[in-house]
Homo-oligomer: A and B are copies of this chain.
Amino acid sequence: MMNRGLLLVLSGPSGAGKGTVCEAYKCRHENIWTSVSMTTRAPRKGEVEGESYYFVTVEEFERKIANDEFLEYAQVYGNYYGTPRAQVEEKIAQGRDVILEIDIQGALNVQENTSEGIFIFILPPSMNELKKRIIGRGSETPESLLTRFQSAYNEINYVSKYNYAITNHTVEQAAHDLACIVRAEKCRVTRVSNEILSLKEEDLNELID
């Protein structure tokens, strides 16, 4: 019997670097599967159905909400975005680890909708560094920078809802911490029951003959 995969939920304030950490981890670990979100917004140039997103109509999305088919969903600027539950559960049942890289509200929704899930919060090394990283992206006006920064500052309070916090000093170190969390979680006694069962299935009397 195969052990179930892990459901890793990675989030943190904007600018903390969860996307980069997630990518660095995925480069080194083949067993990970990244959930593809579903959205009602129109595809942008170059976006591929089933890779970038699953693109559906509002009616279809709302029917899925009614059927409890999302691990989490939200409406942003009039468009729906959500994580379809079925594909995640299928991969986990196949023994693959699934990573959801989502915002904090999404992570809290996942917490409500599943008993599984390892919730990991990516922290910036300092607020000053976070500020530099947000500015470094270069796409912000002074006003939106301020809003984004204040929001990040407040979001840090949600860390207490998570299981783990990784401080992103460098991408390498943060991806290594993430790998350690995955490895450690696979060693949890509650998850190694198959190994223990198979040990106990060996017949003591045969062995000691």
Contact = CB atoms under 8 A, between A and B. Distances in A.
B167 A195 contact: yes
Number of copies: 2
A170 to B, nearest CB: 15
Interface of A: 120-121, 123-124, 126-128, 131, 146, 149-150, 153, 156-157, 159-160, 162-167, 176-177, 179-181, 183-185, 187-189, 192, 195-196, 199-200, 202, 204, 207-208
B177 A207 contact: no
A2 to B, nearest CB: 15
Contact of A188 (B164, B183, B202, B208): B164
B156 A207 contact: no
Contact of A165 (B162, B183, B187, B202): B187
A123 B188 contact: no
From DSSP, what is the main secondary structure of chain A's interface residues? helix
Interchain residue pairs A-B with the least CB separation, the first 9: A184-B184, A180-B183, A180-B180, A127-B202, A164-B187, A181-B184, A165-B192, A180-B184, A165-B189
A164 B184 contact: yes
A149 B208 contact: yes
A184 B186 CA distance: 11
A127 B196 contact: no
